[in-house]
Amino acid sequence: MSLVKLNIKGISYSQTQNGAYALILNEVDGERKLPIVIGAFEAQSIAIALEKEIKPPRPLTHDLFKNFADRFDIVVKQVIIHKLVDGVFFSSIICERDRIEEIIDARTSDAIALALRFNAPIFTYKNILDKAGIYLKINPEQGEEGINHDDVLGPTQTFDADTETTVSGEGYTQYSLQELHELLEGAVQNEDYEKAAKIRDEISKRES
C-alpha cells in the first residue's frame, strides 16, 4: 500500500463533542484533509509544539518523552497512521536506536505530538485517506480562515468553510501590544496554552 505524506493544517474546537478538538491533517500533494478528534490535553500539547514561541515553564508529558529519548539516543523517524476502525485511528511510531528500528503502537494524537517535537514526517495509507479524507471547498471571501466544525467531524464529503477560525485573537483586540505580551506571559505561567495561542495569534497580527 502506498504512503501519503501529511502535514498539520490546524486544530479546531469540536462543536459536536464537548471538550474535544479536531486535528486537521492536510495531504501534502493533494487537496484532501484528514480530521481526527483528539482530547484537550493532546490538543494543547500539539498547539505548543506548533507555537514555537510558547515555552511551558515545566516539561509536558511529550516534552519529557523527547528529553528521555534524547538522553538515550532514541530518534523518532516517522509516524504512520496505519488503521481506521469504527472511526478510531491507529498509529505507529517508527523509532531508531543504534541503527536498530522499532515500531511502537500509539494513539494518533500522542504520535503526532511526538512527531512535531522530533521534526519527523507524518504519513497515512492511501486507502485510509480515500475512506476518511474530506475536500475543503474554500469560501473565496474568507480563504482558509474558517472551518465548519460539524462537517469537519463527519464522513467524507465536500463542504463550505465559512465559519469561525480555530485559533483567533478575537476578544483581545481591545488590549495594547504591551498588555498582550503580559497576558501571554501570564497564560503560559498558568499553563493555559489554549488562551496563550489565541493571544499569540493576536500579537502576530499586530506585528505582521
pLDDT in tens, 61-95: 999 999 999 999 999 999 999 998 877 899 999 99
pTM for the model: 0.71
Mean pLDDT of the 111-120 span: 96
Beta carbons of 30 and 62 less than 8 angstroms apart: no
Q: Residue 198: which residues within 8 A CB-CB, separation 6 or more? A: 167, 168, 169, 170, 171, 172
CA distance 196 to 47: 10
* Torsion sign, CA atoms 60, 61, 63, 67: positive
CA distance 158 to 155: 10
Tens-digit pLDDT profile for residues 125-144: 999 998 888 875 544 444 44
Mean pLDDT of the 106-118 span: 96
CA distance 48 to 65: 15
Mean pLDDT of the 108-132 span: 95
Q: Residue 102: its pLDDT value, please?
A: 96
DSSP label at residue 143: B
Residue 205: pLDDT over 70: yes
Mean pLDDT of the 4-24 span: 80
Q: Which residue has the higher pLDDT, 53 or 121?
A: 121
Tens-digit pLDDT profile for residues 170-182: 578 888 888 888 8
Q: Residue 165: its pLDDT value, please?
A: 29
State the cell numbers at 122: 507524518
Mean pLDDT of the 104-109 span: 95
∠ Cα 119 45 177 (to 5°): 100
Q: Residue 125: its pLDDT value, please?
A: 96
Beta carbons of 48 and 194 less than 8 angstroms apart: no
Specify the DSSP element, H or E, that contains 92. strand 88-97
